[in-house]
Amino acid sequence: MRDFLQQTLDGNRPVISSGRNTHLSWQWHDDGILELTPHQSTSMALVVSAGIHGNETAPVEILNALTTSLLNGEKPLMPRLLLILGNPPALRAGKRYVRCDVNRLFGGRWQQYEDTSEARRAWRLEQAMENFYQAGNNEEVRWHLDLHTAIRGSYHPRFGVLPLNQRPWPEDFLGWMAAAGLEALVFHRAPGGTFTHYSCEHFGALSCTLELGKAQPFGENDLTQFSAARNALAALLFGEPLPESGETPRRYRVSQQITRTNEHFTLHMSAETLNFTAFPQGTLLAEAGDKRYYVQQAREYVLFPNPNVAPGLRAGLMLVEDNQHNEVAGN
């Protein structure tokens, strides 16, 4: 097929929707949904998604370059692979989303929203993931990497957010995150409507949202900042050596969520507040009428502060360092 990203941006069904080369066969399932299957047997089923938010373009460019090498037969493919460009209309428009945030709609939450293109897309992506994982066997290792960039700058420019998981995270999975250049890992303690929570909860996938830098338009990304992530993805896809890990990522866990409960919501942070900014105990973080959010621990760090979300949605997360894990890691 033609360039996967360009095909998606064009919005037309490809003239040829399946094919094969020396290493793999491929099948175009839908707009921005492409499955690649290696000719040899494999023990891994990998989903890599990007563009869930249409203005987060660096991961899309990285993923597309790797995909082109596979489709051109230049590289072998190791796992069964499902590639997803999450929100094609938003990618075409260069917007985070058109009507509502796809990454709040998974796990059937799309049913609670009006009939929008994003609600239908979340349902379609759930279908695609279910079909992909069920086509394999119970012995496969299942991974899901959802590639994003953040709205704001960050004290940790590259970090991962892991969904609630009732099982311990395997060290080889966390080790891959370090090799991908992630400086911090954030562990959720509650369920959510994200794509990674859906894959982890429903299919037992080892899932992580990778935040790679700050959102920029197509063509304005300095992809050299993310060479470690690109090389770690290449190691998974092509069987190339995994890059040597740098420093072990700092570990944080979510201590509380700030929710915009109504239209009278005020977030007491400036537009320049960076992700992982620290606040001391007792600081007033946000308020909406009689509801007030304060820093409860000795020190908490903010993640994803955004006062402009719709009422009922998350306006920020507060984190504490997981010092036990950081000490075990030797930091």
Reported as a single tens digit per residue, the pLDDT across 32-84 is: 999 999 999 999 999 999 999 999 999 999 999 999 999 999 999 999 999 99
Which conformational region is residue 219 in: left (phi greater than 0), alpha (psi within -120 to 50 degrees), or beta?
Answer: left
Would the pLDDT of 328 be above 80? Answer: no
For position 323, what pLDDT does the model report? Answer: 67
**Please, what sign has the CA dihedral across residues 109, 80, 4, 29?**
negative
Mean local confidence (pLDDT), 136-154: 91
Q: Tell me whether residue 140 is annotated as binding.
A: no
The total number of residues shown for the chain amounts to 331
Dmax (CA) of the chain: 64
At 324 the pLDDT is: 63
Per the model's pLDDT, the better-predicted residue between 29 and 262 turns out to be 29
Residue 244 is predicted with a pLDDT of 84
Other C-beta atoms closer than 10 Å to the C-beta of 84 total 27
Q: How confident is the model at residue 223 (pLDDT cuts 50, 70, 90)?
A: confident
Residue 268 marked as a ligand binder: no
222, burial (CB in 10 Å: exposed 0-12, middle 13-18, buried 19+): exposed
The structure tokens 């938010």 sit at 53
- The percentage of residues in the chain with a pLDDT greater than 90, rounded to a whole number, is 75
Average pLDDT along the chain: 92
pLDDT bracket for residue 317 (50, 70, 90): very high
Q: Choosing from 35, 118, 201, 211, which is the catalytic residue?
A: 211
With cut-offs at 50, 70 and 90, classify the pLDDT of residue 327. Answer: very low
pLDDT over 50 at 254, yes or no? yes
Rounded to two decimals, the pTM is: 0.93
Report DSSP state, residue 1.
-
Does domain 261-328 correspond to CATH entry 2.40.50? Answer: yes
118 catalytic? Reply is: no
Question: What is the rounded CA–CA span in Å between residue 294 and residue 285?
Answer: 5
Every domain of the chain and the residues it spans: 4-238, 261-328
The per-residue pLDDT for 38 is 98
**Cα–Cα distance list, 177 to 212, 247, 276 (Å):** 12, 11, 18
* Residue recorded with tokens 């982890």: 200
pLDDT number for residue 331: 39
Q: In the Cβ-directed half-sphere of 159, how many Cα atoms lie within 13 Å?
A: 22
Tell me the helices (H) and strands (E) count for the chain, helix number first: 8, 16
Alpha carbons 170 and 127: distance in angstroms, whole number? 27
Options 3.40.50.300, 3.30.70.580, 3.40.630.10, 3.90.1150.10; CATH for 4-238 is 3.40.630.10
What's the pLDDT band for 274 if we cut at 50, 70, 90? very high
| Alpha helices (runs of H) in 47-206, residue ranges in sequence order | 58-71, 88-93, 117-134, 171-179, 195-203
Alpha carbon distance 318, 10 (integer Å): 40
- Any known ligand binding at 272? no
Give the model's pLDDT for residue 326. Answer: 58
